[in-house]
Amino acid sequence: MDTAVLIQSGLTAPILVPLIGALLAFVIRRWASPIGLLSVAALLGAVILQVPELIADGPQRLAVGGWGAPLGVDLYADGLSIAMLLMTAVVGLGISLYAAACFRGTPARGQAFWPLWLLLLTALNALFLSADIFNLYVTLEILGLSAVALTAIVGGADALVGAMRYLLVSLLGSLAYLLGVALLYHAYGTVDIALLAERIDAEPAAWAAMGLMSAGLMLKTALFPLHFWLPPAHASAAAPVSAALSALVVKGSFYLLVRFWVELFGEIAGGVATLLGLLGAAAILWGSIQALVQTRLKLLIAYSTVAQIGYLFLAFPLAVGSGIMAWSGVLYLALSHALAKAAMFLVAGNLLRFGGHDRIADLDRVVQRLPLSMAAFALAGVSIMGLPPSGGFVGKWLLLESALTQGRWGWAIVIILGGVLAATYVFKVVGYAFTQSENPHQAQPVPATMEWVAFALAVAAVLMGLIVSQPLALFEIGNPFRIRTELAAP
């Protein structure tokens, strides 16, 4: 492979930077933490540098090694990929800063964490940039394995059971996906998405591939009723890992579902859009109700993720009639959820360290004792329940507008109901943060970094509700959702 070409294009940086970081952190264990922080900061810089280029020149395609499709490995970036890369880098930096403070007392865990975490970022970024479905399989597999390993680093029975279940699910999902890839390759002789988009037809092979790939990805995204593995895995991991899993990892497989839907399957899917929407609606209601009855904070937050993932799937039926509005809304929800949910899990980590437990009823006046963390939780909650001003509100507004413009009341009511339920479970936690517990406990100090990072992420989720037009414009670069208008034709 010609390394000169690789280095020249900024497009490869989001993959190479964390990859090199992962290798270095693995080799030089004593310096794992600074290496990790440095790589993630460099990653954020590299992604931000891409934005003006993308705005000026439109979507970019890079044939790695100069081979080009259908033989070689192609990278492709448009507004959608950049938005996801930005989300990953920003949230990733927050999680890294947090992890550096969090693992200071337990260097062994930190040394296990950094290489895996950087590898996870590598896989995620490669996933957002790959343009062929086999490459995507590879990224999915690395993503899944590094995520499973990260879940297990805290040790203990809970974490191991959760990680084991996660591993099986992840492998099963990848396997289903790989079968779909094989079918498509057999039928159309290519794995490049753009070429497949030209060749694909409504026929049994395509349908079967769609079913297998979608099912595999839905399992990895934890769409109801395939969500069963998520709460134990997300709730038992260490706080920075939980944050990464809920905020970023599930978005990876969701991103692929959207891409494939827009490029390949949307035209041939028939009623599947409605089915996906219905599962999403069920996820919103079921996840929220489950979150409401939890007595442990981390489980509550994990079920909230199940519910919020449900929102993302409402785009499939709604986009049929309103296109960009529904997609933008969902993308906005995905991004603000990443910020808010990461903040929430980090706060849960703070509370866990502070009180040694995460029983909601025994939070014991944390609002006074850890005010910054509780402020972060509440602000993140504002975005999760979709109250203005917050990124969550913008997303829900767009979804609601798209539902009501089409007169589709069922979806609108689910969107509203999910918000009300979210408010109920968020304020269940906030309410107990004010009261005194009957089981007082010894409090441990929480490093200031851990509090401030959570707070900053939560504030970012709220600010997304005030700075709206720039992200929306970014999403549309390269017309990732294939909206047909005279202007947008490629």
- Residues within the interface to other proteins (CB under 8 A): 365, 367-368, 371, 378, 382, 385, 387-389, 394, 397-398, 400-401, 404-405, 412, 416-417, 419-420, 423-424, 427-428, 430-432, 434-436, 466, 468-469, 472
Q: How many CB atoms lie within 10 A of CB 485?
A: 9
Provide the minimum distance between the beta carbon of 214 and other proteins in the complex, in angstroms, as a whole number: 30
Q: Evaluate whether 354 touches 366 at the Cβ level (below 8 Å).
A: yes
8/436 with CB nearer other proteins: 436
142/378 with CB nearer other proteins: 378
68/389 with CB nearer other proteins: 389
41/472 with CB nearer other proteins: 472
CA atoms within 13 A on the CB side of 293: 5
Provide the minimum distance between the beta carbon of 419 and other proteins in the complex, in angstroms, as a whole number: 6
Provide the minimum distance between the beta carbon of 485 and other proteins in the complex, in angstroms, as a whole number: 15
Q: Evaluate whether 355 touches 441 at the Cβ level (below 8 Å).
A: yes
Provide the minimum distance between the beta carbon of 464 and other proteins in the complex, in angstroms, as a whole number: 12
264/330 with CB nearer other proteins: 330
**Of 235, 229, 242, nearest in space to 164 by CA:** 229
253/328 with CB nearer other proteins: 328
Provide the minimum distance between the beta carbon of 126 and other proteins in the complex, in angstroms, as a whole number: 33
Name the phi and psi angles at 293, rounded to 5.
-90, -5
Provide the minimum distance between the beta carbon of 371 and other proteins in the complex, in angstroms, as a whole number: 7
Q: In Å, what is the CA distance from 113 to each residue of 21, 44, 125, 367, 406?
A: 12, 19, 18, 30, 47
User: What is the separation of C-alpha 47 from the centre of its chain, rounded to a whole number of angstroms?
Assistant: 17
Provide the minimum distance between the beta carbon of 391 and other proteins in the complex, in angstroms, as a whole number: 13
Provide the minimum distance between the beta carbon of 354 and other proteins in the complex, in angstroms, as a whole number: 17
User: What's the distance, Cα to Cα, between the start and end of the chain in Å?
Assistant: 31
Provide the minimum distance between the beta carbon of 258 and other proteins in the complex, in angstroms, as a whole number: 21
Q: Evaluate whether 146 touches 120 at the Cβ level (below 8 Å).
A: yes
114/425 with CB nearer other proteins: 425
8/435 with CB nearer other proteins: 435
265/332 with CB nearer other proteins: 332
Angle between helices 315-322 and 391-405 (to 10 degrees): 60
**Of 296, 444, 291, nearest in space to 370 by CA:** 444
Q: How many CB atoms lie within 10 A of CB 189?
A: 11
d(CA 224, CA 229): 11
Name the phi and psi angles at 105, rounded to 5.
-80, -15
Provide the minimum distance between the beta carbon of 470 and other proteins in the complex, in angstroms, as a whole number: 10
Provide the minimum distance between the beta carbon of 413 and other proteins in the complex, in angstroms, as a whole number: 8
Q: Evaluate whether 275 touches 134 at the Cβ level (below 8 Å).
A: no
208/468 with CB nearer other proteins: 468
Provide the minimum distance between the beta carbon of 270 and other proteins in the complex, in angstroms, as a whole number: 28
195/320 with CB nearer other proteins: 320
Residue 28: DSSP 8-state: S
Query: In this structure, which long-range contacts are made by residues 470-476, counting pairs with CB atoms below 8 Å and at least 24 apart in sequence?
Result: 471/83, 471/332, 471/335, 472/328, 472/332, 474/51, 474/54, 474/55, 474/79, 474/82, 474/83, 475/79, 475/80, 475/83, 475/327, 475/328, 475/331, 476/79, 476/324, 476/328
**Of 383, 391, 379, 416, nearest in space to 472 by CA:** 391
Q: Name every residue whose Cβ is closer than 8 Å to that of residue 259 and which is 6 or more positions away in sequence.
A: 80, 193, 480
The tokens for 17 are: 């930077």
134/427 with CB nearer other proteins: 427
